[in-house]
C-alpha cells in the first residue's frame, strides 16, 4: 500500500496533528461521507487491513488489472504493488477527513488524509499523507484503478504572493501542455511530461505512459480542435508536489466525426529544477456529454489516437458481447418474394468495442440477390472494425476498418437489432436493403 519515498522528501512528513492523534491513531476511518458512499471508504479500509496482515486476496479482488499507483518516486502497477507487501510492516493507520465525489455513473473519486505507522525495507514511510483514489465500475463491480499519494507537508513558509506564483506556474504548465497537444508539439510534450508520466482515461478505459503518448503524436493523426475552455480549476500544494483539478469543454473532430464534450481532469505535478512537470493524470467524461448518438463515440485520448478501440464497456449491452453463429439469412427480392440463402457465418463483439463478421455462401441461389453487389466478393462477405450501440434506437453501427469489399472501408453500417432468447436478429437500417440475419450465441464446447 505504501512504499518508501525519497529521503529528500523527509522534510515534508511533519503535519499539524496533535501528539494525542499521532499516538492514538485508530486503524479505521473517521468518516463523514454519505451512507451510500461509505462502501468506498470501507474498500480502502479493507485494503489497508490486508496490507497490515499481508493478505494478497483483497488486492487481487479490489484492484483493477489496469491499476496504477503514482507517487514522487514513480509509478507502479498491480503486480508491483502486491509484491511490496512483504517488504513492509504496517503497525496502524487512520483514514481522516474522507471525501467522495462522483465523477459520473462509472467513476468515483475518494480523497483523504492518512496517518500511517509503517516501515518498509527498514525505513519509515512518511507518516502523514494526502491520498487520492479513483474507483471505476468494471463489469458491475467497483475496482480501484488509481492511487495517488503525496506527503502532507509542514505549513508552508512564505508569503501569499509566493503561493499564488506557484499556482500560476502550475496553471501555466497545464496551459503549455494543452497547447502542445493542440499543435502536436512533441518537443514541448517531452519537456512537460516527466519520464514516469502515466495517464488514465476513463472514457477510453486505458492507461498510457509518456512513450506511448509521444509515439502517438509522432505517428500523426486526424484530430482537429476548434475550441478548448478550462474552468473550475483548483490547485492544492504539498511542498514540491501539486494536484490540479479542473473541468474543460472542447469542440473537436477525429477523422471528421464529432469528438468533443465535457470532461473532468486531475493532474499531478512535481517541481524539479525550478520547473513543473506532470507525473500523472486522469480524465473522466461528465455524464451526459457524449457525442451525438448518431455518431460514434471517439473521444481522443492523450495518446493522440482515437479511443474507438477502447470504448467504455458500460455502453455495450452485456448480452451482445461474445461469438455468434449465423443460423439463417433471408432477403426479399424486388418482386416481394423471399429467398432463404444457404450460408454459414460468424459474428463477434468484444468489450473493447471491436467487432468482426464473415459469411460464406455454400451454394448460389438461382435468383439474383440485390445485396450481393454491395457486400460479397467471390461468394464471401467479411469485414472488421469497431462498433457503437444506441440502445434507445436499438441500432448497432459497424465502423468498417477493413474487409473484402473495399468500397465499404471507412463506412458506417447501421443495423437494427433485437434479441429473441439466445438469438440475435439483425436487419439493415437502410430502407433500400431488405434482408434479415439470425445469429445464435456460441457456447463453450
Count of other CB atoms within 10 angstroms of residue 438: 16
pLDDT at 221: 56
Q: How does residue 26 score in pLDDT terms, banded at 50, 70 and 90?
A: very low
| Residues forming a β-bridge with 130 | 113, 150
pLDDT at 428: 92
In this structure, the chain runs to a length of 445
Dump pLDDT digits (tens) for 300-343.
Answer: 445 454 444 333 334 577 888 889 999 999 999 988 899 999 99
Rounded CA-CA distance 67/101 in Å is 19
**b/e code 9-48 from CB counts within 10 Å (16+ = b):** beebbebebeeeeeeebeeebebebeeebeebbebbbebb
Count of other CB atoms within 10 angstroms of residue 157: 6
Task: For residue 108, give the nearest of 99, 120, 117 by alpha carbon.
Answer: 99
- For residue 292, pLDDT over 70 is answered with no
Segment of 157-171, 281-295, 355-369 carrying the highest mean pLDDT: 355-369
Q: How does residue 249 score in pLDDT terms, banded at 50, 70 and 90?
A: confident
Tell me the domains of the chain and their CATH numbers: 7-151 (3.10.450.50), 160-309 (3.10.450.50), 318-441 (2.40.128.280)
Which residues, at least 6 apart from 153, have a Cβ–Cβ distance to it below 8 Å? 11, 12, 14, 15, 237, 238, 239
How big is the CA angle at 264 (ends 261 and 267), to the nearest 5 degrees? 130
162-171, long-range: CB within 8 Å, 24+ apart, which pairs?
163/237, 166/235, 166/237, 166/242, 167/235, 167/237, 169/275, 169/276, 170/235, 170/242, 170/244, 170/269, 170/276, 171/233, 171/235, 171/244
pLDDT at 253: 72
Dump pLDDT digits (tens) for 42-76.
Answer: 999 999 999 999 999 999 999 999 898 877 666 78
Cα first-last separation, the chain:
41
Q: How does residue 351 score in pLDDT terms, banded at 50, 70 and 90?
A: confident
DSSP string over 37-81: GHHHHHHHHHHHHHHHHT--HHHHHHEEEEEEEEETTEEEEHHHH
- For residue 291, pLDDT over 60 is answered with no
pLDDT at 1: 60
Q: How does residue 29 score in pLDDT terms, banded at 50, 70 and 90?
A: very low
- For residue 41, pLDDT over 70 is answered with yes
Cell 503497525 found at = 91
pLDDT at 370: 87
pLDDT at 437: 95
| DSSP 8-state assignment for residue 175 | H
Report yes or no: 302 and 215 within 8 Å, Cβ to Cβ: no
User: Could you tell me the three cell numbers for 94?
Assistant: 487512520
Report yes or no: 208 and 201 within 8 Å, Cβ to Cβ: yes
- For residue 398, pLDDT over 90 is answered with yes
pLDDT at 59: 94
Secondary structure (3-state) at 18: coil
Rounded CA-CA distance 414/294 in Å is 10
Task: Evaluate if pTM is beyond 0.75.
Answer: no
Dump pLDDT digits (tens) for 147-166.
Answer: 888 887 654 333 344 666 77
pLDDT at 256: 63
Mean pLDDT taken over the chain? 78
**b/e code 249-265 from CB counts within 10 Å (16+ = b):** ebebbbbebbbbbebbb
Amino acid at each position: 500500500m505504501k512504499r518508501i519515498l525519497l529521503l529528500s522528501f523527509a522534510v515534508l512528513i511533519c503535519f499539524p496533528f496533535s501528539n494525542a492523534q499521532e499516538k492514538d491513531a485508530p486503524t479505521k476511518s473517521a468518516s463523514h461521507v454519505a451512507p451510500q458512499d461509505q462502501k468506498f471508504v470501507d474498500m480502502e479500509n479493507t485494503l489497508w487491513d490486508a496490507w497490515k496482515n499481508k493478505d494478497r486476496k483483497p488486492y487481487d479482488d479490489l484492484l483493477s488489472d489496469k491499476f496504477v499507483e503514482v507517487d514522487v518516486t514513480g509509478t507502479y502497477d498491480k503486480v508491483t504493488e502486491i509484491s511490496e507487501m512483504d517488504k513492509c510492516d504496517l503497525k496502524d493507520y487512520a483514514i481522516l477527513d474522507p471525501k467522495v465525489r462522483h465523477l459520473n455513473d462509472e467513476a468515483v473519486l475518494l480523497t483523504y488524509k492518512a496517518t500511517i505507522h509503517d516501515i518498509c525495507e527498514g525505513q519509515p514511510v512518511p507518516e502523514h499523507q494526502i491520498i487520492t483514489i479513483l474507483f471505476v465500475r468494471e463489469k458491475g463491480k467497483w475496482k480501484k484503478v488509481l492511487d495517488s499519494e503525496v506527503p502532507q507537508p509542514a505549513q508552508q513558509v512564505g508569503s501569499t504572493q509566493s503561493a499564488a506564483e506557484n499556482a500560476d506556474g502550475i496553471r501555466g504548465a497545464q496551459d503549455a501542455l494543452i497547447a502542445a497537444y493542440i499543435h502536436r508539439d512533441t518537443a514541448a510534450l517531452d519537456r512537460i511530461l516527466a519520464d514516469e508520466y502515466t495517464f488514465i482515461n476513463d472514457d477510453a478505459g486505458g492507461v498510457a505512459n509518456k512513450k506511448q503518448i509521444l509515439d502517438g503524436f509522432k505517428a500523426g493523426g486526424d484530430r482537429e480542435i476548434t475550441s478548448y475552455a478550462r474552468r473550475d480549476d483548483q490547485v492544492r500544494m504539498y511542498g514540491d508536489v501539486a494536484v490540479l483539478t479542473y473541468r474543460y469543454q472542447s469542440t473537436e473532430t477525429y477523422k471528421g466525426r464529432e469528438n468533443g464534450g465535457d470532461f473532468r481532469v486531475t493532474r499531478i505535478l512535481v517541481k524539479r529544477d525550478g520547473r513543473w512537470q506532470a507525473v500523472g493524470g486522469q480524465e473522466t467524461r461528465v455524464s451526459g456529454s457524449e457525442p451525438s448518438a448518431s455518431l460514434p463515440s471517439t473521444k481522443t485520448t492523450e495518446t493522440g489516437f482515437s479511443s474507438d478501440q477502447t470504448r467504455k464497456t458500460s455502453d455495450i449491452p452485456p448480452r451482445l458481447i461474445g461469438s455468434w453463429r449465423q443460423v439463417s439469412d433471408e432477403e426479399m427480392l424486388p418482386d416481394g418474394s423471399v429467398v432463404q440463402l444457404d450460408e454459414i457465418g460468424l459474428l463477434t463483439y468484444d468489450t473493447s468495442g471491436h467487432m468482426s463478421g464473415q459469411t460464406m455462401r455454400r451454394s448460389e441461389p438461382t435468383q439474383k440477390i440485390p445485396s450481393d453487389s454491395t457486400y460479397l466478393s467471390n461468394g464471401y462477405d467479411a469485414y472488421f472494425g469497431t462498433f457503437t450501440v444506441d440502445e434507445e434506437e436499438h441500432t448497432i453501427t459497424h465502423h468498417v476498418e477493413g474487409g473484402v469489399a473495399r468500397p465499404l472501408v471507412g463506412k458506417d453500417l447501421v443495423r437494427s437489432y433485437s434479441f429473441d432468447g439466445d438469438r440475435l436478429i439483425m436487419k439493415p437500417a437502410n430502407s433500400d436493403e431488405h434482408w434479415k440475419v439470425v445469429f445464435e450465441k456460441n457456447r463453450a464446447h
